[in-house]
């Protein structure tokens, strides 16, 4: 079996592979091919490249498994032949994204983003952050109750927050997205951790934002298109709410985009899932999936119905 992986370091991180598995590296969609793509049976594609990366599957008639390194699979859903199994990296990014969410919330509440700008200007801004707040006692809604949402909840709980969970459908104490109009006015912080699907695209629209309480914080660590950017910019420009964004639509943001300069916006360039611990976890998953596949055992993390 021929296995293509996305980076040379993956060889060491996977450890020994089953007999008969040949590992080759394709680090980017436009890099020189390490061999004939028609012979690839199991592919771990590079993270970057978007539609160009997906298009390579048209040159892989023998492809049977695509194992992503990302938790999100939106670029791949509906793009593969029926004989190809798509698996995401569920569980790999729980720690890093959950920690980013907590860091973003604390930074926004304590105005660390504003103070970092003041430091750059050599300005002692002590009197400028009288509206700094604490996380303790806040009501946090987590929209997206998957493994990252659960990991985020575990890390927020020690701060003494009140947590409300929202999933696609109501179950096991979780609210449905249909309940959001009633829930949003009660929340101090709304965290978006749901996948991008046809149903969630543009979910954070004018009505969603208008329902948020004055002074509330919106945290998007999901996908940029989950939020309607025009509606988001319009609401944020009033100063009524704040936002911490790791993802945007478009991405990257154009240099003249208004989100760059809004004082009530903390923006990071889609780095929530980028820490030193990610690749070792990711390739442990790859190695496990390869062993499962070669042994004829069921794969985990199969993407079905967009999830």
Catalytic residue among 240, 257, 270, 292: 270
Cα angle at 210 between 218 and 148, to 5 degrees? 30
Catalytic residue among 8, 134, 230, 251: 251
251 is catalytic: yes
121 is catalytic: no
- Cα separation values, 38 from 3, 10, 290, Å: 12, 22, 19
Say how far apart CA 110 and CA 40 lie, in whole Å.
50
* Pairing assessment for the beta strands 40-43 and 217-220 based on DSSP bridges: unpaired
Residues 6+ positions from 151 with CB-CB distance below 8 Å: 94, 95, 97, 98
201 is catalytic: no
Handedness of CA 100, 103, 109, 114 (dihedral sign): negative
Element (H, E) at 243: strand 242-245
Catalytic residue among 223, 235, 242, 281: 223
Phi (first) and psi of residue 294, to 5 degrees = -70, -25
280 exposure class (CB count in 10 Å sphere: 0-12, 13-18, 19+): middle
> Among all residues, which ones are annotated catalytic?
223, 251, 270
């Amino acid at each position: 079996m021929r296995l293509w992986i996305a980076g040379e370091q993956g060889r060491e991180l996977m450890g020994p592979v089953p007999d008969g598995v040949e590992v080759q590296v394709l680090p980017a969609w436009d890099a020189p091919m390490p061999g004939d793509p028609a012979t690839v049976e199991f592919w771990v594609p590079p993270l970057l490249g978007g539609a160009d990366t997906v298009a390579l599957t048209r040159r892989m008639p023998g492809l049977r498994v695509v194992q992503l390194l990302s938790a999100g699979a939106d670029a791949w859903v509906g793009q593969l032949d029926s004989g190809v199994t798509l698996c995401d990296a569920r569980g790999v990014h729980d720690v890093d994204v959950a920690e980013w969410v907590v860091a973003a919330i604390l930074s926004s509440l304590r105005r660390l983003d504003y103070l970092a700008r003041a430091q750059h200007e050599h300005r002692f801004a002590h009197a400028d952050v009288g509206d700094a707040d604490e996380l303790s006692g806040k009501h946090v809604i987590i929209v997206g109750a998957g493994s990252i949402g659960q990991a985020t909840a575990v890390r927020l709980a020690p701060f003494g927050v009140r947590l409300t969970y929202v999933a696609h459908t109501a179950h096991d104490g979780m609210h449905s997205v249909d309940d959001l109009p009633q829930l949003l006015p009660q929340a101090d912080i709304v965290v978006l951790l749901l996948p991008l699907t046809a149903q969630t695209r543009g979910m954070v629209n004018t009505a969603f934002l208008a329902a948020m309480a004055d002074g509330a914080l919106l945290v998007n660590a999901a996908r940029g298109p989950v939020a309607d950017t025009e509606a988001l910019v319009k609401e944020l420009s009033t100063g009524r709410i704040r936002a911490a964004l790791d993802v945007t639509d478009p991405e990257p943001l154009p240099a003249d985009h208004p989100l760059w300069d809004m004082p009530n916006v903390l923006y990071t360039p889609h780095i929530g899932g980028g820490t030193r611990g990610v690749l070792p976890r990711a390739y442990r998953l790859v190695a496990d999936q390869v062993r499962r596949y070669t042994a004829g055992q069921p794969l985990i993390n199969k993407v079905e119905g967009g999830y």
